[in-house]
Structure 1
């Protein structure tokens, strides 16, 4: 899904996204001072003007504030909720990669049901505990090949605008969200090794306990409002997925 920006992006954007990842992962805490321009320029192998562009991008997005004569500081309140520290790597970025994937992916056997928000889901979607939400699940297919199961949990005000006709013509829930005016602009997600349970294995033509990846996160709209708490289980053999699972298994004591 969302990956750090690639080499085709301008250097200042790649630097801004790298700094944002460190902020959201807790390396730079709220209200903490960022390293100075000279130090960042040396660390990233960039000019100070490029660093200034990156800082300006973060400042415009609401992640940092600059104080004349003092430096640049992480905002006390961030536009999106940082993830609590756990075992998996954290990825941040604009949803360009997800948009690109949507041109090649569709979902089969999509289901829809109402759920009640527990404490974790309520925190993700910023809704009261016990509030209703709508859970979609579909088997993901890319280029004719099943590669995983997607679960998207949306607030009712988003999901209720998606009728059956719209859902039938939209390859993913992300497409359906955009079609009704809720385009996800930014996402924070975690990638961790997991194993297929019996239900997911059946949907993916795999075997129970087979290694897989769990991509979990929250997608946010342009105003920073959570739109989608999602999980994507990626099966064995899907490119980087299997590679990351194996790497994680080797690092486990």
Structure 2
């Protein structure tokens, strides 16, 4: 979940991201026909040409296909897995916005171990059940203040490229993926309530059982290949904001 596109983004980009969010939330399902360009233009308070440009963006990204004389349909399959079960709103945005805001984020007390992928993890990372994956865990800090625990699980083939030198030079595992040539291009995540266990509480200087937010998701590279199944457990007292925008009809 990234900062939703604000007024500084072109309208067709905002419309494309809004439609993409509805697709990933399950509002529009793979293979389903989208509303007509005229209906979308009326709903989005935009011109038909702007909607057409937005649909072109989604086609180029692999989320929409067009059928001559029939209209636009949700791609089947989608480039990345939609949330399941169907969720509420998916707030789409831009990872470069988060990159700009994350320069004060660091990890400490990082540890790693090797696991065998169970069926759920194998499905998330598109690897065979029982294959090796590498898990990284660290205390996440912003401006030197702990705010949560980061758990990143990557396929063995990706982890092989995260050498000790790369890891040591990376403030976070996400940065390490970039240095290793597997930069995250897209991410889909959900936020759910959680409670701190003993280990996480000790890492953050909190108390076991304290309320927290668990942000879980799958990160994909530019080729839509999953490279990271992650959880960020955020402790109480850390502010998380959403910037939501609405497009109003021209008067």
TM score, norm. by length of structure 1: 0.90
Q: Does the 8 A contact of 1:193 with 1:214 survive in 2?
A: yes
Partner of 2:7: 7
Change (3 A) 1:130 1:93: farther
Q: Does the 8 A contact of 1:93 with 1:186 survive in 2?
A: no
Partner of 1:247: none
Q: Distance in 1 between matches of 2:147 and 2:52?
A: 41
Question: 1:86: Cα distance to partner?
Answer: 6.1
Partner of 1:174: 174
Q: Distance in 2 between matches of 1:15 and 1:237?
A: 34
Q: Does 1:106 align with 2:106?
A: yes
Gaps of 5+ in 2: 243-251
Change (3 A) 1:154 1:98: farther
Partner of 2:151: 151
Q: Distance in 2 between matches of 1:29 and 1:78?
A: 9
Spell out, residue by residue over 1:124-144, the C-alpha distance to the aligned partner (whole angstroms, 9 max, x if none).
Answer: 000011110000011111011
Q: Distance in 1 between matches of 2:51 and 2:171?
A: 39
Q: Does the 8 A contact of 1:90 with 1:191 survive in 2?
A: no
Choose between structure 1 and 2 for higher RCO, CA contacts under 8 A separated by at least 6 residues: 2
Question: 1:69: Cα distance to partner?
Answer: 2.0
Q: Does the 8 A contact of 2:25 with 2:86 survive in 1?
A: no
Question: 1:97: Cα distance to partner?
Answer: 3.5
For residues 173-192 of structure 1, the aligned pairs below 5 Å read 173-192=173-192
Spell out, residue by residue over 1:106-151, the C-alpha distance to the aligned partner (whole angstroms, 9 max, x if none).
Answer: 1000011101101110000000111100000111110111111111
Q: Which has the higher helix share?
A: 1
For residues 23-38 of structure 1, the aligned pairs below 5 Å read 23-38=23-38
SS at match of 2:17: helix
Question: 1:7: Cα distance to partner?
Answer: 3.0
Partner of 2:240: 240
Q: Does the 8 A contact of 1:102 with 1:172 survive in 2?
A: no
For residues 31-50 of structure 1, the aligned pairs below 5 Å read 31-50=31-50
Q: Does 1:63 align with 2:52?
A: no
Partner of 2:248: none
Q: Distance in 2 between matches of 1:115 and 1:198?
A: 22
Change (3 A) 1:101 1:231: farther
Spell out, residue by residue over 1:60-96, the C-alpha distance to the aligned partner (whole angstroms, 9 max, x if none).
Answer: 0011111222111111110011121266754444422
Q: Does the 8 A contact of 1:152 with 1:228 survive in 2?
A: yes
Structure 1 residue ranges, 4+ long, deviating more than 4 angstroms after superposition: 86-89
Partner of 2:79: 79
Partner of 1:222: 222
Q: Distance in 1 between matches of 2:7 and 2:239?
A: 19
The number of residue pairs the alignment matches comes to 242
Question: 1:4: Cα distance to partner?
Answer: 2.7
SS at match of 1:240: coil
Aligned alpha-carbon RMSD (Å): 1.7
Q: Distance in 1 between matches of 2:88 and 2:40?
A: 26
Gaps of 5+ in 1: 245-253
Q: Distance in 1 between matches of 2:46 and 2:203?
A: 47
Q: Distance in 2 between matches of 1:89 and 1:199?
A: 32
Partner of 2:245: none
